[in-house]
Amino acid sequence: MSQAALPRGRPRQGAQIAFTALALVIAVGAYVLAGLGKRGQVPITLALYGSIFAVGFAAAALVIRRFAPGADPALFPTAAVLTGLGFATIFRLSGGLAAEQATWVAIGLGAFCITLVLVRDHRQLDAYTYTIGLIGIVLLLLPIVPGIGRTINGARLWVKVGPIGFQPSEIGKVLIVVFLASYLNQKRELLRVATGGVGRLRLPPAKHLMPVLLAWGASLAVLFIQRDLGASLLYFGIFVVMLWVATGRLAYLLLGLLLFALGAGFGYAAFDHVQLRVDVWLHALDPAKVFDVGYGQLAQAQFGMATGGLVGMGLGQGSPGLIPFAPTDFIFAAIGEELGMLGTVGVLLLYVVLVGKGLQAALACPDGFGRLLATGLAAAVALQTFVIVGGVTRVIPLTGVTLPFVSYGGSSLVSNFVLLALLVRVSAGPAPVRPKGGG
C-alpha cells in the first residue's frame, strides 16, 4: 500500500470498529427484546448467542482491519445489522430454528473471513474465468441430478448428501457473477459494436448476441427443470444489468426486457405453478379464496403487515407465526407486523446502503473487472431483495427466494457472506503486503 493510502485507511478502520460495535448492540438488543416480548424474560441463551455474535463480529472486524484496511466501513456493519435483526425475528418465531441459524451465522462469518484471507486481490479471480463459470453452472444444475436432488415446496433446488442438505445454486449465483464480470470485461469492446438493428435500436452482429440468448435460454432452463421462477428472474436480471453496464448500450437493456417478457409469457403458458402464482398475486384477498392453500400465505402476510401499522406490535408481541413459511419466504411480513412500517422502511434503507456502497465501490475501482464484479454483486443483492419484498407486498407475483442476510437458511446466509467479502475486497483494493523484516 502506498503512503498516500495510509491516512485514508486509519479513519476508515476507526469507523469500521465503531459501526461494528453499534451493529453488535443492535443485533443483541433485538434478540433480547424478542425474548422479553415473547416470554417476558431475558432469554436464557443470551450468553451463548450473544457470544457467537460478539466473537464473530469482532473476528470479522479484525480480519478486515488486517487484510482490507481501506474497505468501506459501512459494508460489513450494515449486513451485520440485517443478520442480527433476522436472527431475532427467527428466534421469536422458533427457538429450534434460531439454534440452527446461530450455527449458520458462525459458519457464514467464518466464510467471510476465509474469503478475505484467501482473495488478497480481486483480480486473482479474473485468471480463472471459465473454471469459475463451469463450477457455477454445475452448482446451478446439481439439484436435477437423480438421487441427490430434492424437490421442496414445488421447486427442485435442494441437494442432499447423507444428512447434509443445501442449495448449491446460492453459491453458484456468486460464482456466475464472478464469471460474467471476467467474461464481459474481456468481450466488452466486441459487444459494443453495432452493425444492425431495427430503427434506432442498434445491435451488434448476431454472433456477439449469443451470450444474451444463452443467458436467456439458461434462465428458461432453470424455470423449466427446477420450477423456480425466482431464480430464473434473478439470474437473467443480473446478466442483463452487467451486460448493460459493461457496454453502456441501452439496446441490451431493451433487448433483455423484451426477452424477459417473452420468457415470462412462455412460463405462464407452459407451467401450472406459474399460473397459480399469478392468480394468487391478483386474487390473494378474494374472500372466496383467502383460506385456500397458496392464497392463504399471501393473505396472512397482508393481514400481519396491516396489523403492524406504523410502529408495529413490538418484537415478540404480534402473531407472525400465523403466516406460513414466516422464517423463510415471509420474514419481511413478520418484521412488518412487529416493527411496523417504520421497521420495514428501516430494513429497506439498510439494503439501500448495502447496494449503494457496493455501487460506490464499483465506481471507485480502477480496473474493469473489479467494477463489473462489484456491480454484479450489488445487483444480485438488489434484485433478490426486490423479488422477495415485491412478492410479499404484492408488487409482483411471489417467488421463492430468500431475503439476503435476514431469512432463515444456511446456504443463503453463507453465500451472502462470501458475496459481502468480495464487495469488501473490491472496496478495499489489494491487501497490504507487510515486509517480513524490520524497518
pLDDT at site 6? 39
Do the domain assignments include residue 117? no
Do the domain assignments include residue 80? no
Do the domain assignments include residue 12? no
Do the domain assignments include residue 315? no
Please give the grid coordinates belonging to residue 87: 436472527
pLDDT at site 284? 82
Contacts of 149 (CB under 8 A, 6+ apart): 142, 143, 156, 158, 159
**Roughly what angle, to the nearest 10 degrees, separates helices 368-392 and 410-428?**
140
Do the domain assignments include residue 302? no
Q: How far is CA 18 from CA 13, 76, 238, in A?
A: 9, 12, 33
Among the listed residues 388, 383, 373, the one whose alpha carbon sits nearest the alpha carbon of residue 419? 373
How far, in Å, CA of 322 to CA of 39, rounded?
18
| Vertex 236: Cα angle to 414 and 358 (nearest 5) | 50
Do the domain assignments include residue 351? no
Among the listed residues 115, 100, 118, the one whose alpha carbon sits nearest the alpha carbon of residue 52? 100
Mark residue 161 as left, alpha or beta (left: phi above 0; alpha: psi -120 to 50; beta: remaining): beta
Please give the grid coordinates belonging to residue 144: 436435477
Q: Which residue has the cell 466488452?
A: 188
Please give the helix or strand (H or E) that residue 155 lies within, else none: strand 155-161
DSSP 308: H
| Vertex 377: Cα angle to 407 and 5 (nearest 5) | 120
pLDDT at site 195? 58
Q: Which residue has the cell 433446488?
A: 157
Contacts of 166 (CB under 8 A, 6+ apart): 158, 159, 410, 411
Please give the helix or strand (H or E) that residue 90 lies within, else none: helix 75-93
Global pTM exceeds 0.85:
yes
Contacts of 179 (CB under 8 A, 6+ apart): 129, 130, 132, 133, 136
Do the domain assignments include residue 113? no
Please give the helix or strand (H or E) that residue 104 lies within, else none: helix 95-118
Its domain, for residue 217, covers 126-141+168-270
DSSP 321: G
Contact in structure between 136 and 126 (CB atoms under 8 Å) = no
- What is the signed CA dihedral for 224, 226, 228, 229, rounded to 10 degrees? -20
pLDDT at site 174? 92
How far, in Å, CA of 206 to CA of 208, rounded?
5
Do the domain assignments include residue 1? no
At residue 438, φ and ψ (nearest 5 deg) are -80, 175
How far, in Å, CA of 339 to CA of 348, rounded?
13
Please report how many Cα atoms fall inside a 13 Å half-sphere around the Cα of residue 392, on the Cβ side.
Answer: 30
Contact in structure between 305 and 376 (CB atoms under 8 Å) = no
Profile the chain (439 residues) by mean pLDDT over runs of 10 residues: 44 83 95 90 92 96 93 95 96 92 96 95 90 84 75 67 75 89 84 62 62 66 67 82 85 80 81 81 78 74 91 89 87 94 96 96 93 95 93 86 90 94 93 58
pLDDT at site 53? 96
pLDDT at site 194? 61
DSSP 431: P
Contacts of 334 (CB under 8 A, 6+ apart): 89, 92, 93, 304, 318, 320, 323, 326, 327
pLDDT at site 231? 73
Q: How many CB atoms lie within 10 A of CB 214?
A: 11
Contact in structure between 120 and 430 (CB atoms under 8 Å) = yes
Among the listed residues 364, 350, 313, 357, the one whose alpha carbon sits nearest the alpha carbon of residue 334? 313
What is the number of domains present in the chain? Answer: 1
Amino acid at 201: L
